[in-house]
Amino acid sequence: MSCKESNLWYDVMKDEMNSMQSNGVWNLVKLPNGAKTIGCKWVFRTKRDSLGNIERYKARLVAKGFT
């Protein structure tokens, strides 16, 4: 990330990862033979107030594809 807010985005990503870990969102398991992994990507969004000022930075880790 090479924008001026990259430190803010990085902090929000760490918060999201810590939240998912503390809520038990996933379990690490060994991948069965012949199975393919599902990819993931980060989705970033800024929340703004009624005047258009940035109120909050949000990041969400989402799975790509479908089963």
**Mind listing the pLDDT tens digit of every residue in the chain (67 residues)?**
677 888 899 999 999 999 999 999 988 889 999 998 889 999 999 999 999 999 999 999 998 876 5
- The pLDDT, as a whole number, for residue 1 is 62
Asked whether residue 15 is domain-assigned, the answer is yes
Give the residue numbers spanning the domain of 41. 1-23+37-67
Place of tokens 């909050």: 56
Q: What is the DSSP letter of 25?
A: -
- The pLDDT, as a whole number, for residue 38 is 86
Asked whether residue 1 is domain-assigned, the answer is yes
Asked whether residue 28 is domain-assigned, the answer is no
Name the β-bridge partners of 44. 59
Asked whether residue 51 is domain-assigned, the answer is yes
* Structural contact between residues 66 and 36, judged by C-beta atoms closer than 8 angstroms: no
* Structural contact between residues 61 and 17, judged by C-beta atoms closer than 8 angstroms: yes
Number of domains in the chain: 1
Asked whether residue 32 is domain-assigned, the answer is no
Asked whether residue 3 is domain-assigned, the answer is yes
Asked whether residue 54 is domain-assigned, the answer is yes
3-state helix, strand, coil split of the chain in percent (to 5) is 25, 30, 45
* Structural contact between residues 30 and 16, judged by C-beta atoms closer than 8 angstroms: no
